[in-house]
Amino acid sequence: MELRPDDLLREWQAGKFRPVYYLFGEESAAKTDAVLKLKELFKADAFNLFEFSGDPASEASAVVAEAMTFPVFSDKRLVIVRNPRIPADARAAFAAYLGCASPTTTLVLLSEDRRPDKKDALADAASAVGAVSIFSPLTEEEACERLIAQARRAGKTLAPAAAEALVGEAGGDWGILSGELEKLVTFAGAEKDIAPAAALECLGYRKAADPWAFERLIQSRDVKACLGQLAELFSGSKPEEAAFRALAQVRLGYLKQLKAKRMLKAGLPPREIEQKLRIFYDSGFFARAERASEARLRRDLRRCLEVEAQLKSKSWLDPKLELERLVVELCTPTARIAAV
């Protein structure tokens, strides 16, 4: 069975846990959040929670052994395989286990693939006895619509331009967007209508600040200017919040460039692309996009997701330092990266 991420959460909140969940999709942050929520609702103690993050090829037998073990002083057991790259031998071992899966164990598998391969026997087995779920990033249009609908449920009317400002700041990651909207609703107080000015003020911008400045700078790959802007983003903000906001702006900036290049290839005129991608007052956008190859943009988007996943799973990392390192890497020409 294939379930949407929202359906997974409803199941878990209702206390229903299937023998296996196989999580796919490019939105690694959302998958990480889903696993954290599952752990919270599952309430497995130290005797009944096992997480594997090493090489699945060498750990496959240990994973299966833990999955087949009866719970200790409990009626359920949670086993999580965090490595998103499961080789063929390990997939075969897991698929074989699912043929006679323990009814007291929930096995969680992660994949970096966008969706299940039609020839993936493990995905078929997981779908047969549990659930497969695909975590896809929200488009800007979807994110704006969801923000407006969520605000309406909170008794507020969020102006479309205010929603666009939030998405321009945080990207399409709903975990971040929902947090920003919650703060904005609190900030609005008794006011029913939320205008763009309120959104920008709540986000912490100075009166003359440009909310799209960092996005444009990271697209231009000017390392000195980017690091200066990054310092401003971290100034007066919690390091974790500033890091995830900066990552969202980087992702959004490169995603716009990637989409624009593909739209240009498809023959769409620049004016139509500007409208579709919500490019605001940026006469240099297409010139910057032309300087970056699609391969480079895809690589840099993957790096953003990797850094985000690391920050969410490794609490000891310094968010500001990790973002500075990432910015330097993103602003380094491809040839120099390959030479390192």
324 has a pLDDT exceeding 90: yes
Mean pLDDT for the chain overall: 86
Compare 119 and 157 and report the one with higher pLDDT.
Answer: 157
Compare 328 and 281 and report the one with higher pLDDT.
Answer: 328
Predicted confidence at residue 175, as pLDDT, reads: 64
d(CA 296, CA 4): 30
d(CA 173, CA 147): 12
Q: What is the CATH number of the domain that holds 181?
A: 1.10.8.60
Q: Are residues 248 and 189 in the same domain?
A: no
Choose the most confident range, by mean pLDDT, from 33-37, 257-261, 334-338.
257-261
Backbone phi and psi for residue 193, each to the nearest 5 degrees, phi listed first: -95, 130
Predicted confidence at residue 203, as pLDDT, reads: 67
Angle at 235 between CA 162 and CA 281, to 5 degrees: 40
Q: Are residues 30 and 53 in the same domain?
A: yes
d(CA 54, CA 44): 21
Q: Are residues 149 and 93 in the same domain?
A: no
Q: Are residues 192 and 232 in the same domain?
A: no
112 has a pLDDT exceeding 60: yes
Q: Are residues 83 and 69 in the same domain?
A: yes
Q: Are residues 97 and 148 in the same domain?
A: no
pLDDT per residue over 75-98, tens digit each?
999 999 987 788 889 999 999 999
d(CA 220, CA 49): 45
Predicted confidence at residue 82, as pLDDT, reads: 85
Structural domain of 158: 140-208
pLDDT per residue over 144-198, tens digit each?
898 999 899 999 999 988 888 888 777 776 767 777 888 788 888 888 999 887 8
Compare 257 and 248 and report the one with higher pLDDT.
Answer: 257
Domain limit, last residue, from 134, 162, 184: 134
Predicted confidence at residue 334, as pLDDT, reads: 63
Domain limit, last residue, from 134, 157, 177: 134
Predicted confidence at residue 236, as pLDDT, reads: 72
281 has a pLDDT exceeding 80: no
pLDDT per residue over 40-50, tens digit each?
999 989 899 99
Q: Are residues 175 and 278 in the same domain?
A: no
Q: Are residues 230 and 335 in the same domain?
A: yes
Q: Are residues 84 and 159 in the same domain?
A: no
* Domain count across the chain: 3
What average pLDDT score do residues 313-334 get? 90
| Coil vs helix vs strand at 28 | helix
206 has a pLDDT exceeding 80: no
Q: What band does 337 get if pLDDT is binned at 50, 70 and 90?
A: very low
Element (H, E) at 193: strand 193-194
129 has a pLDDT exceeding 90: yes
Domain limit, last residue, from 165, 191, 208: 208
Percent over 70 (pLDDT), the chain: 92
Predicted confidence at residue 41, as pLDDT, reads: 94
Q: Are residues 158 and 85 in the same domain?
A: no
Q: Are residues 69 and 91 in the same domain?
A: yes
Compare 238 and 105 and report the one with higher pLDDT.
Answer: 105
Compare 105 and 197 and report the one with higher pLDDT.
Answer: 105
For 69-134, the DSSP string reads: SPPSSSS-EEEEE--S---HHHHHHHHHHHTT--TTEEEEEE--SSS--TT-HHHHHHHHHSEEEE
Q: Are residues 246 and 323 in the same domain?
A: yes
Q: What is the CATH number of the domain that holds 220?
A: 1.20.272.10
Predicted confidence at residue 301, as pLDDT, reads: 92
What average pLDDT score do residues 23-27 get? 82
Q: What is the CATH number of the domain that holds 101?
A: 3.40.50.300
